[in-house]
Structure 1
Amino acid sequence: MPVALIPGHASLLLVADHAARAVPPGLDLGVDAHVLDTHVAVDLGVAELTAALAVVLDAPAILGVVSRLVVDLNRPPEAAIPVESDGIAIPGNRIDAAARAARLAEWHAPYHGAIEAHLDARPPRLIVSVHSFTPALSSRAEPRPWPVGILYNEDDRAARIALPLLRAAGLNAGDNQPYSGRDLNYTMDRHAEARGLPYLGIEVRQDQLGDAAGVARWAAILEPVIRACA
């Protein structure tokens, strides 16, 4: 199945594009196995955090179940199959147009179709996009000091509620950091901005989610922020 679904009753929808490191059987990306345990393959901690938030919020969630190295679900189709990520070449993604179309049809289209179907049936008060980011990129020297960032493009309604709340809790919250939602926001642009639905794009630094205690801490931090935005 190209998506994982968590049921819930709240008028929210949690979305996790990069929640899995899985590579389909028989697909050789041409990368070392350890790469699949790093940030280039998966948003570390996001599957666990999204599941925890779904429980405390009683919220439905849609999670991607394939590595972003196979298909990046937070990119438009024409840019969704990377041949390089943070300095790591992915030779198995140098494929012809027919193979690209088949891979997108198997993973990208059903994932976004599932989100569209949910929004058609149950338009929520708020969509919450959950991601994590590495403390530093291998290909760039500067560290990322923010434990959490809030990303947005044109619609900053939820961001303008969440940022002061996170800062009041003593957190160095990034405002469109460590990168801008105006550049990397495909899923929310397609499903939230295009429909006029408010959304909250959350990025937690991966070293904050390295164990169950960290996940529980961030679920507790984010629950009241999400409720306030909704």
Structure 2
Amino acid sequence: MTDVFIEIEGRSESGLVLIADHASNRVPEDIDLGVHPSVLDKHVAVDIGVDRLAMLVSGALGCPAIIANISRLVVDLHREHDNPVATPVHSDGHHIPANAALDEAARRERIERFWHPYHGRAAELVDTHEPDMLFTLHSFTPRLETRTHETRPWHAGILYNRDDRAARIAIPKLEALGLHVGDNEPYSGQELNATMDLHAEARGLPYLAIEVRNDLIADAEGARKWAELLVPVIAETRDALK
């Protein structure tokens, strides 16, 4: 484990590499974000349940994985390095004072410390293992704090930008399990797809971006159940792309 990510060893023969950008709420001891500690347990700080889910899925598939070990409030690794919201100032009604106080030099230093090592290692894993398909795991909140009147009914969503090859295979497989699946919901991969754009679309590599509603994977039993659902779908999608 490094300061920035946890790396899970796996076999190139799996044909897969997992990247999980928002799997931790850890804030390094030398960084004070200026937020109440309770904020770090909310979806604005971490994709709830993804840490456990990612471990279970990568273990079952035998695939290498890189799992973020910092909160998205420190650096949002699922943004471009030159995007100002990579060091978020506001998120779903929560203000992050320390990020608002960063000058450009301090922001660049934060990006150099966290973003570049994480994505540099992710690129090395893809180069080394040459997977048939890249995949990523995220979670979303059933209801935003700033939009309490809007509910998100999907059990899971599959996101994509220009390359929808894997999405078109996986969505009907998930629906066949009786799940309510969002097709580029609860938000569009055409607007929010930075990591897969960088490591998959830029290479012409198929990818599967899976979002699970966080109340469904918030505990160990939920993560176990969803790992059992997702593992065969991921494997079958990979195989169908060959």
Which bracket does the TM-score occupy, shorter chain normalised?
over 0.9
Q: 2:59 matched to 1:55?
A: yes
For residues 44-93 of structure 1, what are the alpha-carbon distances to aligned partners after superposition, in whole Å with 9 as ceiling and x for unaligned? 00010000001111111101110000000000122300000001010100
The match for 1:184 is 192
> Which among 84, 89, 93 is matched to residue 90 of structure 2?
84
Q: State how far apart, in whole Å, the 1-side matches of 2:230 and 2:129 are.
A: 23
Determine the structure 2 residue equivalent to 1:6: 8
Query: Are residues 1:22 and 2:26 paired?
Result: yes
User: What SS does the corresponding residue of 2:157 show, helix, strand or coil?
Assistant: strand
Q: Distance in 2 between matches of 1:21 and 1:194?
A: 29
Query: Following TM superposition, by how much is the alpha carbon of 1:193 offset from its aligned partner in structure 2, in angstroms?
Result: 0.2
TM-score normalised according to structure 1 size: 0.98
Cα distance in 2 for partners of 1:33, 1:88 equals 12
1:101 maps to 108
1:44 aligned to 2:51? no
Give RMSD over aligned pairs.
Answer: 0.7
User: Which whole-Å deviations, capped at 9, do the CAs of 1:144-165 have from their partners, x for residues lacking one?
Assistant: 0001000000000000000000
> What is the TM-score when the length of structure 2 is the normalising length?
0.94
Structure 2 counterpart SS, 1:207: helix
Q: Tell me the residue number matched to 1:193.
A: 201
Within 2, Cα distance between the matches of 1:61 and 1:116?
Answer: 12
1:204 corresponds to which residue? Answer: 212
Aligned to 2:128: 121
Aligned to 1:148: 156
Alpha-carbon distance between aligned partners in 2 of 1:180 and 1:34, rounded to the nearest angstrom? 29
- Structure 2: gaps (5+ residues): none
Deviation, 1:11, is: 1.6
Alignment partners' CA distance in 1, 2:126 and 2:20: 15
Quote the Cα distance in structure 1 between the aligned partners of 2:111 and 2:232.
Answer: 36
Instruction: Give the letter for the 1:112 counterpart.
Output: H
Aligned to 2:227, the other structure's residue is in SS state: helix
Cα distance in 2 for partners of 1:101, 1:28 equals 17
Amino acid corresponding to residue 158 of structure 1 in structure 2: A
Any residues of structure 2 matched to 1:159-170 within 5 Å, and which? 159-170=167-178
Task: Give the distance between the partners of 1:121 and 1:165, measured in 2 at CA.
Answer: 29
Give the aligned residue type for 1:144.
Answer: R
Secondary structure of the corresponding residue to residue 174 of structure 1: strand
Query: Does residue 34 in structure 1 map to residue 45 in structure 2?
Result: no
Find 1:227's aligned residue among 224, 235, 239: 235
Q: CA deviation at 1:118?
A: 1.0
Runs of 4+ in 1 over 2 A off after TM superposition: none
Offset of residue 32 of structure 1:
0.4
Q: Secondary structure at the residue paired with 1:154?
A: coil
Partner of 1:71: 75
Deviation of 1:24 after TM superposition, in Å, equals 0.9
Aligned counterparts of 1:20 and 1:212: Cα–Cα separation in 2: 16
Measure the CA separation in 2 of the matches of 1:210 and 1:19. 12
2:142 to 135, 142, 158: 135
Return the offset for 1:26.
Answer: 2.3
Task: Report the Cα offset of residue 30 of structure 1.
Answer: 1.0
